[in-house]
Amino acid sequence: MHRTLEDLRTYRPEPGVPWALLDATIIDGTGGPAFGPAHVVILDGRISRVLARHDALAGLADGDYSARYPDEVAPEHRFSLEGMHLLPGFIDAHAHIGAPDQVESTDYVFKLWLGHGITRVREVGSLGIGFGRMAEAARRSAAGELAAPIIHPYLTFGREDVAPPPRTGDEARAWVRAAREHGALGVKFFGAAPELMRAALAECRALDMGSACHHSQQTSPRANALQTARWGLGSIEHSYGQAEAMYADRVLPAVPAEFNYSDEAMRFREAGSLWVQGARPSDSQWGDFLDELVGLGTTLVPTFAVYNAARDAERARNREWVREYVSPRLARFFTPCAHRHGSFFADWTTEDEVLWKEQYRIWMRFVRDFALRGGRVCAGSDPGFIHSHYGFSFVDELELLREAGFQPLEVIRAATLHAAELLGIDGETGSIEAGKSADLVLVGENPLRNLKTLSGVGHYSMDEGGAVVRRGGVEIAVVAGRVVDARRALREAREFVAACAEA
Ligand SMILES: [Zn+2]
């Protein structure tokens, strides 16, 4: 008799002892269709074997699939998961662990991530916290000493806690080397003076470090996404810098005479017009830019989820997870305020939302066309800003990629294998294959049918008796072979929010 899902929740694998997840349907992250029932054997944090009926039929494995359970695994280490789906651990390609003015505790953030099956994050910038603290969290997460996804830290270019802010190309290169010595795996830019950014990107390449850029409205006129991609940029974040690289009838975006970039509300209101002012698919600039971008190997991390509130601010304020899962400090951070980044939804009008809806139509078409030409797109949620929430908004991002035209299997790949490629660790993780790290997500519903079932609040539904129920949610996350009860992680996040509210 095999053990059950409930047994798996508290299972602690032992060194040198193989264990197995049996009879699940596997969505392996490569883009190939689901298959099963199949078995995954794990030993010392790695997937040692994947047994599937189609391999037996193809003669790649023992032909007798009726004697199919992996004999190297003792019965007490086998877990029967019939009817469930197993995926590679999700990778949020644009994440922040949260600064002290956003969240009361990073453990709360980690629980929300693990509760949504996020087993790795690309932490872009280490914003608002000292890098020493980030490097320590990254080290402990990789060593399994911290109940958290494995953190891949990027440092914001020019920070003075790394090295003196660079003024020359040589100093920019030296800054990147110092960031590397501090343990950064990549550099996050908000744009920079062209000669500094060009030198820093060259150094990132030379050191095999990642690079990501938020092409701010302020810096884009000197270095838009096409220029930085030519300098070797790894990934283009958000909606900025791209439309600006292919205007058909202007060189710079038009802004009102009174526009002031330091005014957050004005900044985001105008940001909604960047694509609307820009080229359309029928313009030659559109295809030329896409072809060059794809040819350069640049990745897009659109983070659709973080601007989604601009299409419907009332909905964003009242999502079903807000009451139980948004902590008091984060709720306060989201409240409109001139001093907090992205908290600008006061007097947000019909006209603003219509503009952003139009912007999304054009922007999504661009991202889709980029993928159709062979470009890599990854899922990033940019949590902690503009009503984007840890874990929950990662599921939003998957739905938004679907809305942009990605097929469900493409969406899952954007969240797994393609993100691993972006991080340069696709030999290590990102798909369910023998030899890779055991980074896995176990769910009760088929996410290809309905991505909403991945949300921590599940999918609003009805049972056979006609009662309203919530279906779905992640059951188990496996991080480098360590089993995490995802439901428990979410329960603890809820309890933390309740305790903060009482205090
Ligand atoms: Zn961000």
DSSP codes, 452-473: GGGSTT-EEEE-TTS-EEEE--
> From the CA of 178, how far away is ligand 1's center (Å)?
22
> From the CA of 187, how far away is ligand 1's center (Å)?
13
Q: Please, which pLDDT band fits residue 61 given cuts at 50, 70 and 90? A: low
> From the CA of 130, how far away is ligand 1's center (Å)?
16
> From the CA of 124, how far away is ligand 1's center (Å)?
6
Whether 338 shows a pLDDT value over 90: the answer reads no
CA distance 360 to 392: 20
Same-domain check for residues 326 and 219: yes
> From the CA of 57, how far away is ligand 1's center (Å)?
47
> From the CA of 240, how far away is ligand 1's center (Å)?
12
Tell me which residue of 174, 209, 108 sits closest to 456, measured CA to CA: 108
pLDDT at 209: 98
Cβ 94 vs Cβ 124: under 8 Å: yes
Cβ 465 vs Cβ 127: under 8 Å: no
Q: Please, which pLDDT band fits residue 419 given cuts at 50, 70 and 90? A: very high
Give a yes or no: residue 503 inside a domain. Answer: no
pLDDT at 62: 61
> From the CA of 190, how far away is ligand 1's center (Å)?
10
Same-domain check for residues 460 and 340: no
CA distance 437 to 414: 18
Whether 131 shows a pLDDT value over 90: the answer reads no
CA distance 35 to 323: 38
> From the CA of 157, how far away is ligand 1's center (Å)?
14
Whether 63 shows a pLDDT value over 70: the answer reads no
CA angle 119–124–126, rounded 5-degree value: 100
3-state secondary structure of 260: coil
Same-domain check for residues 111 and 40: no
Q: Which residue has the higher pLDDT, 461 or 129?
A: 461
pLDDT at 189: 97
The answer to whether the bond into 33 is cis (omega within 30° of 0) is no
Cβ 209 vs Cβ 186: under 8 Å: yes
Report the domain count for the chain. Answer: 2
pLDDT at 231: 98
pLDDT at 67: 47
Q: Please, which pLDDT band fits residue 442 given cuts at 50, 70 and 90? A: very high
Give a yes or no: residue 184 inside a domain. Answer: yes
Give a yes or no: residue 194 inside a domain. Answer: yes
Same-domain check for residues 214 and 281: yes
Phi-psi region of 424 (alpha: psi -120 to 50; beta: other; left: phi over 0): left
Same-domain check for residues 232 and 121: yes
Q: Which whole number is the average pLDDT over 403-427?
A: 98
Q: Which whole number is the average pLDDT over 260-275?
A: 91
pLDDT at 242: 97
Give a yes or no: residue 212 inside a domain. Answer: yes
CATH number at residue 278: 3.20.20.140
**181 Cβ contact list (under 8 Å, min separation 6):** none
In the numeric block, the tokens 């006609």 are attached to: 466
Same-domain check for residues 172 and 102: yes
Poorest-confidence range of 56-65, 77-86, 393-402?
56-65
Give a yes or no: residue 327 inside a domain. Answer: yes
Same-domain check for residues 70 and 9: yes
Q: Please, which pLDDT band fits residue 476 given cuts at 50, 70 and 90? A: very high
Q: Which whole number is the average pLDDT over 382-405?
A: 98
Whether 101 shows a pLDDT value over 60: the answer reads yes
> From the CA of 18, how far away is ligand 1's center (Å)?
39
Of 423, 439, 472, the domain-final residue: 423
Same-domain check for residues 342 and 240: yes
Q: Which whole number is the average pLDDT over 278-283?
A: 95
pLDDT in tens, 24-38: 999 999 999 999 999
Same-domain check for residues 398 and 439: no
> From the CA of 234, how far away is ligand 1's center (Å)?
15
> From the CA of 308, how far away is ligand 1's center (Å)?
14
Please report the beta strands in 53-202, taking only residues with DSSP state E, as ranges in sequence order.
Answer: 78-80, 85-88, 90-95, 118-125, 150-156, 186-189
> From the CA of 15, how far away is ligand 1's center (Å)?
38
Same-domain check for residues 300 and 199: yes
pLDDT at 68: 75
> From the CA of 420, how far away is ligand 1's center (Å)?
18
CA distance 136 to 435: 27
Give a yes or no: residue 499 inside a domain. Answer: no
CA distance 311 to 468: 29
Q: Which whole number is the average pLDDT over 139-146?
A: 95
> From the CA of 381, how far away is ligand 1's center (Å)?
8
CA distance 381 to 404: 15
pLDDT at 64: 55
Of 392, 423, 454, the domain-final residue: 423
Cβ 9 vs Cβ 486: under 8 Å: no
What percentage of residues in the chain have a pLDDT greater than 70? 98
**232 Cβ contact list (under 8 Å, min separation 6):** 201, 202, 204, 205, 211
> From the CA of 42, how far away is ligand 1's center (Å)?
34
> From the CA of 60, how far away is ligand 1's center (Å)?
45
Same-domain check for residues 77 and 190: no
> From the CA of 146, how far away is ligand 1's center (Å)?
23
**What is the extent of the structural domain holding 26?**
5-87+430-483
Sign of CA dihedral 153, 155, 156, 159: positive
pLDDT at 54: 80
Give me 318's structure tokens: 């009242």
> From the CA of 239, how far away is ligand 1's center (Å)?
12
Q: What is the mean pLDDT of the chain?
A: 95
CA distance 165 to 160: 6
Give a yes or no: residue 335 inside a domain. Answer: yes
> From the CA of 96, how far away is ligand 1's center (Å)?
7
Tell me which residue of 241, 244, 271 sits closest to 256, measured CA to CA: 271
Cβ 125 vs Cβ 155: under 8 Å: yes
Same-domain check for residues 169 and 260: yes
CA distance 209 to 449: 37
Whether 317 shows a pLDDT value over 90: the answer reads yes
> From the CA of 127, how far away is ligand 1's center (Å)?
9
CA distance 2 to 78: 6
Give me 258's structure tokens: 């009174």
Please report the beta strands in 367-495, taking only residues with DSSP state E, as ranges in sequence order.
Answer: 376-377, 440-443, 459-462, 468-471, 474-479, 482-485
> From the CA of 382, how far away is ligand 1's center (Å)?
5
Q: Please, which pLDDT band fits residue 315 given cuts at 50, 70 and 90? A: very high
> From the CA of 341, how far away is ligand 1's center (Å)?
11
Q: Which whole number is the average pLDDT over 8-19?
A: 98
> From the CA of 410, how far away is ligand 1's center (Å)?
23
> From the CA of 383, how far away is ligand 1's center (Å)?
7
> From the CA of 303, how far away is ligand 1's center (Å)?
8
Give a yes or no: residue 454 inside a domain. Answer: yes
Report which secondary-structure segment, H or E, holds 369. Answer: helix 350-372
> From the CA of 195, how far away is ligand 1's center (Å)?
24
CATH number at residue 63: 2.30.40.10
Cβ 78 vs Cβ 2: under 8 Å: yes
Cβ 188 vs Cβ 161: under 8 Å: no
Report which secondary-structure segment, H or E, holds 55. Answer: helix 53-57
> From the CA of 379, how far away is ligand 1's center (Å)?
12
Pairing outcome for strands 376-377 and 78-80? unpaired
> From the CA of 301, how far away is ligand 1's center (Å)?
10
> From the CA of 473, how far away is ligand 1's center (Å)?
25
> From the CA of 439, how far away is ligand 1's center (Å)?
24
Of 423, 451, 472, the domain-final residue: 423
**In Å, what is the CA distance from 185 to each residue of 142, 209, 431, 479?**
13, 6, 21, 20
Q: Which whole number is the average pLDDT over 482-499?
A: 98
pLDDT in tens, 170-184: 999 999 999 999 999
What percentage of residues in the chain have a pLDDT greater than 90? 89
Whether 185 shows a pLDDT value over 60: the answer reads yes
CA distance 482 to 460: 30
